A and B are shown apart, each in its own frame.
Chain A
Amino acid sequence: KQEVTQIPAALSVPEGENLVLNCSFTDSAIYNLQWFRQDPGKGLTSLLLIQSSQREQTSGRLNASLDKSSGRSTLYIAASQPGDSATYLCAVKEVTGGGNKLTFGTGTQLKVEL
Chain B
Amino acid sequence: GAGVSQSPSNKVTEKGKDVELRCDPISGHTALYWYRQSLGQGLEFLIYFQGNSAPDKSGLPSDRFSAERTGGSVSTLTIQRTQQEDSAVYLCASSQQGAGGELFFGEGSRLTVL
Chain A residues within CB distance 8 Å of chain B: 31-32, 34, 36, 42-46, 49, 51, 89, 91, 93, 95-96, 98-107
Bound-complex Cα distance A44 to B90 (A): 12
**Contact pattern, B 87-107, Cβ under 8 Å of A = 1, otherwise 0:** 000010100000110111111
With a cutoff of 8 Å between Cβ atoms, the chain B residues found around residue A98 in the complex are 55-56
Q: Is the interface of A mostly helix, strand, loop or mixed?
A: strand
With a cutoff of 8 Å between Cβ atoms, the chain B residues found around residue A46 in the complex are 102-105
Bound-complex Cα distance A45 to B108 (A): 12
With a cutoff of 8 Å between Cβ atoms, the chain A residues found around residue B59 in the complex are 101
Report which of A34, A36, A101 forms a contact with B33, defined as CB distance below 8 A: A101
Report yes or no: A99 in contact with B55, Cβ–Cβ below 8 A. Answer: yes
17 further contact pairs, Cβ within 8 A, besides A93-B100, A101-B45? A31-B99, A31-B100, A34-B103, A43-B108, A46-B103, A51-B100, A89-B43, A91-B43, A91-B103, A98-B55, A99-B56, A100-B31, A100-B55, A100-B99, A101-B48, A105-B42, A106-B42
With a cutoff of 8 Å between Cβ atoms, the chain B residues found around residue A49 in the complex are 102
With a cutoff of 8 Å between Cβ atoms, the chain B residues found around residue A89 in the complex are 43
How many contacts between A and B, using CB within 8 angstroms? 60
Q: Quote the shortest CB–CB distance from B42 to chain A (angstroms).
A: 4
Bound-complex Cα distance A91 to B55 (A): 20
Q: Given A31-B99, A95-B99, A99-B56, are A44 and B91 neighbors across the interface (CB < 8 Å)?
A: yes
Specify which of B4, B48, B58, B103 lies most central, judged by the most chain A CB atoms within 10 Å of its CB.
B103
Bound-complex Cα distance A101 to B103 (A): 10
Residues of B within 8 A of A (CB-CB), count: 25
Q: Given A99-B55, A99-B56, are A104 and B103 neighbors across the interface (CB < 8 Å)?
A: no
Specify which of A95, A101, A107 lies most central, judged by the most chain B CB atoms within 10 Å of its CB.
A101
When C-beta atoms are compared, the residue in chain B nearest to A94 turns out to be B99
With a cutoff of 8 Å between Cβ atoms, the chain A residues found around residue B43 in the complex are 89, 91, 102, 104
